[in-house]
Structure 1
Amino acid sequence: MSVSIKVLTKLNVPPRLALWVNLRLSPVLLNALGQESFKCPDDFGFYPHHVSCDKYWKCDNGVAELKTCGNGLAFDASDSKYLTENCDYLHNVDCGDRSQLEPPISTPHCQRLYGIFADEKKCDVFWNCWNGEASRYQCSPGLAYDREARVCMWADQVPECRSEEVANGFACANPGEVANAGSFSRHAHPEDCRKYYICLEGTAREYGCPIGTVFKIGDSDGTGNCEDPEDVPGCEDYYGDLDLKSIRKSELLAGLQSDGQSRQTQPKQLKPRPQKEN
């Protein structure tokens, strides 16, 4: 226990009180105090802190320097050779027994300076925070951000999504009420030409046509397909003067069509879908 007494003495604790504290404090706390002193196992390398997941030791020419990852990041100690200096998002790092973290530093939409966080009000929106700067992302139509899996999933499968937000409150017809619909039915969004709903076993899910197309209502109830705007009466000018070729290219390069996440590009003004005449 003499090492712990030396540590307490360095903290200007009187010797008699240091002896009492040494006998009373838990071994875990004493171990944490002693960790501010570190002997490099090798001349160069990066070593995890014993109790803190966001701290690590940088050894340069045998001299140890205590480093701290950005707020919301943790030190990745998976390199068995200790030659990699890598701070990653907390949810990507297995901290093990290194349970301590620096207190959170928050900014608008960011619980910590670094990380991916769900929006507090809209279940299909999430924020990617880097050094306190928040970038807004929105799941594709019908999807919502799952806080545990950290991916966009069907809105009805995300517990945090309120029932009125699932498919924007659209309710499927009772079985047998939609003619010629087969095992599922498609229904136009009442306000947005590009969006539509699919009803499957009574559950409504919102879909969106590929960029550059809109949903065309079919001849039979519960049917329809995505078509070019000029072939859908009332939706010809849905995209206005947007350069659809550039948008398609940028989405393809970003891989947005494969992961269900996008910074959705919307027309300048949404035109209400024309009502079908009876």
Structure 2
Amino acid sequence: MKTVSCIVVLSALCFSAFAQDNFKCPDDFGFYPHPVSCDKYWKCDNNVAELKTCGNGLAFDASDPKYLTENCDYIHNVDCGERTQLEPPIATPHCERLYGIFADDAKCDVFWNCWNGEASRYQCSPGLAYDREARVCMWADQVPECKNEEVAGGFSCPAPGEVSNSGSFSRHAHPDDCRKYYICLEGVAREYGCPIGTVFKIGDAEGTGNCEDPEDVPGCEDYYGDLDLKSIRKSELLAGLQSSSSRAASNPAPKAGKPRPAPSSRNEPSE
């Protein structure tokens, strides 16, 4: 087996050397894709060819028809076509290669952006999870890698018919955070967040509720601590967020946030 492996490696090296010696620049200046390697390309300068290799996890983007662009991009962004060969992966903590975007092994709502082997942690908005194929944050229940206990933080929707007068969907308070709430649609729970400056107030009927001022929600009055809510409400950011509660879900809760009070006090009428 070792002899065969050595032959394969030597063949590859010989082919690379042969290709390098025989590549002819089509023009005095330009950047040209390697015939079989997606992460290699030829740089021609004054009609002299130099074989270049993209960073580990990057591939050469050969989409410029004039061959004047030198661009290495994430592999998943590049159409390699028949250029199927890649350099062996070089892994670091949370990074399968030195460059790329990779899902977390333990939490489905966390992903890592790796640049030169250094990983930056990102977390999807409440109720969302990182989809490995689409490489975007999607509803957690639509991501196969998410376990049931991870979807909507383990919250389970009421059984069909259990909540009366709720219409096609129902809203439910988050047990630990005054600003967050769940929407149940066809038995699937999705986590949302109220616009900054407001918290979720449970409605009079079961399965209902709205985002209201903290002072109108018993137990959540001090959720924002010392933040100036008047200035927040006047800001253009809040004005945009109030147009859609789904857009508001992308904003993290303030660090000064306060947990939702115990269930016994949540249904008290506001004064």
- Normalised to the residue count of structure 2, the TM-score between the two structures is 0.82
Q: Matches of residues 91-130 of structure 1 in structure 2 within 5 Å? A: 91-130=76-115
Q: What is the SS of the residue equivalent to 1:230?
A: helix
Aligned-pair CA distance for 1:271: 2.1
One-letter identity of the residue aligned with 1:95: C
**Stretch moving more, 67-76 or 236-245:** 236-245
Aligned-pair CA distance for 1:122: 0.8
**Contact 1:167-1:204 at 8 Å conserved across structures:** yes
One-letter identity of the residue aligned with 1:240: G
Count residues in correspondence.
250
Q: What is the SS of the residue equivalent to 1:35?
A: helix
Q: Identity, % of aligned pairs?
A: 76
Structure 2: gaps of 5 or more residues: 1-6
Aligned-pair CA distance for 1:139: 1.1
Q: Does 1:36 align with 2:36?
A: no
Aligned-pair CA distance for 1:209: 1.5
Q: Does 1:199 align with 2:187?
A: no
Aligned-pair CA distance for 1:190: 0.6
Tell me which of 245, 256, 260 is aligned to 1:272: 260
C-alpha distance 226-259 of structure 1, shift in aligned 2 (>3 A): closer
Aligned-pair CA distance for 1:263: 7.9
- Number of the residue aligned with 1:177: 162
Q: Does 1:234 align with 2:222?
A: no
**Contact 1:209-1:215 at 8 Å conserved across structures:** yes
Q: Matches of residues 157-176 of structure 1 in structure 2 within 5 Å? A: 157-176=142-161
Name the larger-Rg structure: 1
**Contact 1:138-1:261 at 8 Å conserved across structures:** no
Q: What is the SS of the residue equivalent to 1:199?
A: strand
One-letter identity of the residue aligned with 2:152: A
- Normalised to the residue count of structure 1, the TM-score between the two structures is 0.80
Q: Matches of residues 9-88 of structure 1 in structure 2 within 5 Å? A: 31-37=15-21, 38-88=23-73
Tell me which of 128, 131, 138 is aligned to 1:146: 131
Cα deviation digits, residues 244-276 of structure 1 (max 9, x gap): 667977898xxxx99899683542454233424
C-alpha distance 249-99 of structure 1, shift in aligned 2 (>3 A): farther
Aligned-pair CA distance for 1:243: 6.1
Q: For the residues of structure 2 that align with 1:133 and 1:182, how far apart are their CA atoms?
A: 48
Q: For the residues of structure 1 that align with 2:28 and 2:94, how far apart are their CA atoms?
A: 42
**Contact 1:242-1:267 at 8 Å conserved across structures:** no
- Number of the residue aligned with 1:8: none
Q: For the residues of structure 1 that align with 2:228 and 2:35, how far apart are their CA atoms?
A: 55
Cα deviation digits, residues 167-224 of structure 1 (max 9, x gap): 1111111122112211111000111111111111111111111222211111110000
**Contact 2:196-2:248 at 8 Å conserved across structures:** no
One-letter identity of the residue aligned with 1:164: E
Cα deviation digits, residues 99-156 of structure 1 (max 9, x gap): 1111212222211121111111111111111222222211111111100001111111
Q: Does 1:211 align with 2:211?
A: no
